[in-house]
Amino acid sequence: MKPNINKAKFRKALSLKNGVLSIVLSFAAASILQAEGENIEPSTLNADKIIAKVNARPEGEHVIRNFSIELRDKNGRTRREETIAHRRYFTNDKGEQEKRTIIFYTEPSRVRGTGFLTYDYASPNRDDDQWLYLPALRKVRRISASDRGDYFLGTDFTYEEIKKEQKIEASDYHFELLGEKEIDGRQLLVVEGLPAKPQIAEELGISKAIWHIDPSIWMSRLSEFYDQNGNHSRTMQLEAVEEIDGYLSSKQIIISNHKTGHSSRIRFSNIDYASPVPQKLFTQARLRRGL
């Protein structure tokens, strides 16, 4: 069965200026592939194809959104931090899509002005670039690939998880489909990932990861991470998803650290796929200058 393509939207895309036409068409193609995938029985897919479908889930050319981070310690004490994030896809010289994200902290005052910038390159042979700006130091610090498994600014999320946004760096792992499991009335595909190299295991700080992937949204509803000693160290749960402007969007995620008893919950709001996100926003100079 052929996918049901919205012809009006497709004609509107064709009317856009040439500068963004290739990007629009690439996302239209991704949407069509996703629609075709709905006619495929998920149980017939192997682990690599399942992860490929997770990574092919359309995210839009650009997005602006706020997210609130709630941090809770083992004694139940909480604190909240507020941010605004911009993300945009760019087309490189090879016609590949590359993602850039910049995050600014807005509240509370002690973290206001803190910024995070990341370039997520298409080639698995090129390390992604990440920079952190701390106002107290007035200095931009580069986050190396060896630090990507470190916790992001006091949260229980890693730099890698903030950067990938519910997607998975396929070149980091060898995948195996463990089967299916029903959780909360949903039939999920269980995929295990073992680091492809000892260096990657050290960078990510894990011995394995297990994702419980919902084929109706191609996101992991439940993700479990094991440290390098094989201990179950963290659990991430996707608590809420909403379709916004035609794109499936995470609305709430919590991650629990089983070693410390600490947890971090992110709530996304004001998600805007329509407003333009300028290219010049994604620079180290802007990271220093802030909003």
The pLDDT value recorded for residue 140 is: 95
Domain definitions of the chain by residue range:
1-39, 40-289
Distance CA 48, CA 192 (A): 11
Q: What is the mean pLDDT of the chain?
A: 88
pLDDT at 88 over 70: yes
The pLDDT value recorded for residue 31 is: 39
Burial of 140 (0-12, 13-18, 19+ CB in 10 A): middle
The pLDDT value recorded for residue 124 is: 83
The pLDDT value recorded for residue 175 is: 98
The pLDDT value recorded for residue 43 is: 61
Q: DSSP alpha helices (H): ranges in the chain? A: 7-14, 18-37, 47-55, 159-164, 198-204, 284-289
pLDDT at 227 over 90: yes
The share of the chain scoring above pLDDT 90, in percent, equals 78
pLDDT band at 117 (very low <50, low <70, confident <90, very high): very high
The pLDDT value recorded for residue 41 is: 67
pLDDT band at 14 (very low <50, low <70, confident <90, very high): very low
pTM of the model: 0.83
Lowest mean pLDDT among 65-74, 130-139, 263-272: 130-139
Q: pLDDT per residue over 148-170, tens digit each?
A: 999 999 999 999 999 999 999 99
The pLDDT value recorded for residue 27 is: 38
Q: Biggest alpha carbon distance in the chain?
A: 58
Distance CA 213, CA 164 (A): 16
Q: Measured at the alpha carbon of residue 248, what is the angle toward residues 48 and 221, in degrees to the nearest 5?
A: 55
pLDDT at 29 over 60: no
pLDDT band at 125 (very low <50, low <70, confident <90, very high): confident
pLDDT at 58 over 90: yes
Which CATH superfamily is 40-289 part of? Lipoprotein localisation LolA/LolB/LppX (2.50.20.10)
The pLDDT value recorded for residue 291 is: 81
> Rounded mean pLDDT of 232-247?
97
> Rounded mean pLDDT of 28-32?
37
pLDDT band at 225 (very low <50, low <70, confident <90, very high): very high
pLDDT at 36 over 70: no
The share of the chain scoring above pLDDT 70, in percent, equals 85
Distance CA 239, CA 155 (A): 17
Residue written as tokens 């012809």?
A: 7
User: Please, which residues have CB within 8 angstroms of residue 160's CB and are 6 or more apart in sequence?
Assistant: 148, 149, 169, 204
pLDDT band at 20 (very low <50, low <70, confident <90, very high): very low
Helix (H, G, I), strand (E, B) or coil at 30: helix
> Rounded mean pLDDT of 245-258?
97
- Got the DSSP string for 45-69? --HHHHHHHHHTS---SEEEEEEEE
pLDDT at 5 over 60: no
The pLDDT value recorded for residue 199 is: 96
The pLDDT value recorded for residue 39 is: 52
